[in-house]
Amino acid sequence: MNNWINLSALWRIVGIGLLAGAGLPAIFAVGVRALGSGSDAATDDVAGEQVIGATRTGIAIAGLCFAVVLAASGYGIYLIVRAG
């Protein structure tokens, strides 16, 4: 921490920013992947890999992922309302 840059705030912005700004889209991506789409995957040219498909586990994982993303967004809004 010095006179010009608040380094501790800077690192927290970078750190939490990475978790929220890059981590949440990644979790969302896991959800999208878990939902997959077994049915029309064959029509896609990059569908070489195995996808989970919309199995019950897949849907559960996806639901969990989307819930985490939604909860984090809600917490973000809560922070705006409280602090500003």
CB of 75 to other proteins, least distance (A): 10
Site string for other proteins, 45-64 (x = CB under 8 A): xxxxxxx-------------
Cα separation, 2 vs 6, in Å, equals 6
CB of 77 to other proteins, least distance (A): 7
Tokens of 31: 């959800």
- Residue 33 or residue 64: which is nearer to other proteins going by CB? 33
Asked if 36 contacts 51 with a C-beta cutoff of 8 angstroms, the reply is yes
Q: Does 1 bind other proteins (CB under 8 A)?
A: no
Cα separation, 1 vs 34, in Å, equals 43
